[in-house]
Structure formats: C-alpha cells, structure tokens
Chain A
Amino acid sequence: MSNFEITDEELIKKFQNGDVGAYNQLVYRYKDRLLNFIYRFLNDIDRAEDLVQDTLIKLYTHKDSYREIAKFSTWLYTIAANLARTELRKIKRRKTFSVSELSRDDREFIISSTDVEPDDENLAQIFEKNVQRALAELPDDFKTIIILRDIQELSYDEISKIVEVPLGTVKSRINRGRVKLQELLKKKGERPY
C-alpha cells in the first residue's frame, strides 16, 4: 500500500531516471483501467488487451515525451484513446463489407434477450450488453466522452485535455451523448433498471 502514496507523476519521473520498478508500478495501476476504457470503446476484449499492451509499450519507449505540465493519467489516456480510435477506424473499414452479417447478429441478440426470463444477474448482463451495443452505435466523439465520464469517472477538465476540445464542448457533448444513449437503449427495449 505504501507504493500508492507515491503519485503517478513521481513514478514516471523515477522511470525517466531509469527505475524500471516505477514502470511496473504504473503498469499495475493502469492496466485494468485502460482495459475497461478500450473495451467499452471497441467491444472486443482481445483487441482491447492488445491495445493496452501497445499503450504500455508506448509508455516504455516514449517515456521522455511526458512533460510534467500534464497529469500522467491524462497523458496515458490520450495515448490509449488515439490508439483505440485508430483501431476502431480500421475495424469499421473492414466491417463495411459484412453489414448483412451484423444485422443478423443483432436480431439474434434481441430474440434471446426477450425469450429468457431474466433474474437480477441476467438483467445486469443484458443491460451491459445493450449498453455496449448502444455505445457502438454512438458517434466516436460522444462515445469517448461518455466512457471517460460516466464509466471511468474522470473529471471534465481531464476529459477536455484528453480529447483536446474546450470544456464547454465536452459538457454539451456529454449531455447530447447521454440523451442519444438513452434513446438508443429505449429503441432496444432497454430501460435502465
């Protein structure tokens, strides 16, 4: 626990001075957080884990490009967000050839979700799946901000730095994103329980 008293900024400074143990500490602190962020963004756990690896490798190889003017978490999330956006663009390009298959999957999911009599655990799972699907339908700008704010619970200020848009734009996008997400969930017959 004593390691958690050291801030991220102190750890990266130690790592910049050659302390590999500090790097391992940062990996330990961020690997799951990054995985959750990227997974919500891509909806693919294997790809998400690969991208977390890529993010942490970038942290290793580009450690000197971090300057103390920004929060470490903001810097790392910016790397992860950029990698995730690039990956999503690649996936979308590939998926344009198999749109019909996607719609078949959607239908199957809707049927299964209405056929089963769900208990609380199932309800939570269905809710999560529907949220994932609704998130996938959101435009990237809204999606990133919703994940960072409502799932990762970052501050507006941090989000503004990560996505490089003014604070006011972040606030208006998050509001529009929430409204869109609620409408999408409603279309899928999902009510937030």
Chain B
Amino acid sequence: MNCYDFELNISAYIEGELKQAIRENFTNHKEACENCCEKLSDISRLMENLPQMSQLSTSSQFDQKLQNKIREIDNQGPSIWQRLIQLKPLGFEPVPALGFAVAMVMIIGASYLLLNQDGLPNIDFDKLSTQSKQNTQQKFEPSVITPTKNLPSMADSDTSAKSIPKHLENRIQLVGGK
C-alpha cells in the first residue's frame, strides 16, 4: 500500500470497516511511514474532539420571536390565490367549475349570435357567387418559354467535351450507337 491508498482508507480504518487483507496492508504501511502514521493519529484525535465541541443554545428571545412570526402568519391568513383555490362554488372543485362557467358563456354567446339576425353581419351571397364566377372565367394564357440565342448547346461547349476522359469516349459512342 502506498501513501495515497493509505489516505483513502483512513476513515474506514478508524470506523472498523476495512477488510482483513486491506487492514493488514494498512497497518504495515502505518508502521513503515512516519507521515502517514502522524496523519492517522491527527485525524482520529480530530474525530474524537469534534463532537465534544461546545454546544450552542438559542437565545432567550428565540421562542418569543418565533411565536411572533407565527402569529403574523396566522393573522395574514391565506393569500388571494389560496382563497380562490379553496373556493367551491355550488360544491364544485374550482378548476372544473371555472371550465364549466367558460363553456356556458361560450354556448350562450354563440346561440345568441345565431338566433338574433341583427347580431350577424349582412352578407350578399348572390353578389359573392357572381364575383367568384367572373374570377374563374378569366383566360388562362400559359407562359411560353423561348430559348435565348446566346446560350451554348451541350455539343458546342468546350468544357463538356474536355470533361469526358478519352478512355470513355469509345464507350459513349457504343452506347449511343445501340
């Protein structure tokens, strides 16, 4: 065991959690290495002394302060949001009740608009249909594509000829012949 491994196992050794084989290696290293031996004794003394450090107590006003804060909280009561959530109109849970109310408003609104002719905008359906007919009767003129004179053809272009490797030229001719 080296110093690094020794350090990793210090707590387990002090707390008696090391297996027999590792424990023996640990003890052998402890006896051989002065630094590690000192480190072990320092840490075990530290562990003995830490729980014995003085225990603090809360001040004499602590309970009174706490009671005052709790009284303040109790006096404040629940927030508006909490009150809304706790509200149960006609015995319904708040969220379903709200959804039901919104749905009812929408149904009433829609039926009012449908039943009351004055509420709907006046639409001239005859005029609309003649307009749509006129739009469809417009002549359809397909655009004609005319080739520009300046464009070089594939056969004329030097680049296309150059791009075919010589050893492939015969093959191309053969395929064309077929």
Binding site for B on A (CB under 8 A): 27, 31-32, 35-36, 39, 45, 48-49, 52-53, 56-57, 60-61, 124, 127-128, 131, 146, 150-151, 153, 171-172, 174-175, 178-179, 181-182, 185-186, 191-193
Contact residues in A for B45 (Cβ distance below 8 Å): 191-193
Partner of A178, one of B46, B56, B62, B70: B46
List 8 additional contacts besides A178-B43, A182-B39; criterion CB under 8 Å: A32-B56, A39-B56, A49-B62, A53-B69, A56-B66, A150-B46, A150-B50, A175-B11
Could you list which residues of chain B lie within 8 angstroms of chain A, going by C-beta atoms? Answer: 7-12, 39, 42-43, 45-51, 53-59, 62-63, 65-66, 69-70, 73
Closest Cβ–Cβ distance, residue B30 to chain A (whole Å): 15
Contacts of A172 in B (CB 8 A): 8
Bound state CA distance, A56 and B68, in angstroms? Answer: 13
Give the chain B neighbours of A35 by CB distance below 8 A.
56-58
The contact sample of 25 A-B pairs, CB cut-off 8 A, is A27-B66, A31-B62, A32-B57, A36-B56, A48-B56, A49-B62, A52-B62, A53-B62, A57-B69, A124-B54, A151-B50, A151-B53, A153-B51, A171-B12, A175-B8, A175-B10, A175-B12, A178-B10, A178-B47, A179-B7, A182-B42, A182-B43, A191-B42, A192-B42, A192-B46
Residues of A within 8 A of B51 (CB): 150-151, 153
Residue of B48, B51, B58 with most partner-chain A CB within 10 A: B58
Look across to chain A and name the residue whose beta carbon is closest to the beta carbon of B45: A192
| Known contacts A151-B51, A193-B45: A49-B58 contact under CB 8 Å | yes
- Could you say which of B47, B53, B57 contacts A128, with CB atoms under 8 Å apart? B53
4 pairs of A and B residues whose beta carbons are closest in the complex? A192-B45, A175-B11, A150-B50, A192-B46
Please determine whether B66 and A128 come into contact, CB atoms closer than 8 angstroms. no
Chain A contact surface mostly = helix
Bound together, the chains give a CA A136 to CA B68 distance in angstroms of 32
| Bound-state Cα–Cα, A150 to B48, Å | 9
Tell me the nearest residue of chain B to A34, going by C-beta. Answer: B58
Q: Are A127 and B10 in contact (CB under 8 A)?
A: no
Bound Cα distance from A90 to B18, whole angstroms:
40
How many Å lie between the Cα of A128 and that of B55 in the bound state?
11
Interchain CB contact under 8 A, A127 and B55: no
A residues near B12, Cβ cutoff 8 Å: 171, 175
Minimum Cβ distance to chain A for residue B104 (Å): 34
The one of B9, B49, B69 in contact with A192, judged by C-beta atoms closer than 8 angstroms, is B49
> What residues of chain B lie closer than 8 Å to A192, measured between beta carbons?
42, 45-46, 48-49
Residue of A nearest to B10 (CB): A175
- Give, as a whole number of angstroms, the nearest-CB distance from A83 to chain B: 15
Query: In the complex, which residues of chain B have a beta carbon less than 8 angstroms from the beta carbon of A191?
Result: 42, 45
- Complex: A175 Cα to B10 Cα, angstroms: 7
Looking at the assembled complex, report how far the CB atom of A41 sits from the nearest CB atom of chain B, in whole angstroms. Answer: 12
Q: Are A57 and B70 in contact (CB under 8 A)?
A: yes
Contacts of A61 in B (CB 8 A): 73
Q: How far is the CA of A128 from the CA of B54 in the complex (A)?
A: 8
Contact assessment for A186 and B42 in the assembled complex, using a CB-CB cutoff below 8 Å = yes
Give min CB distance, B64 to chain A, whole Å: 11
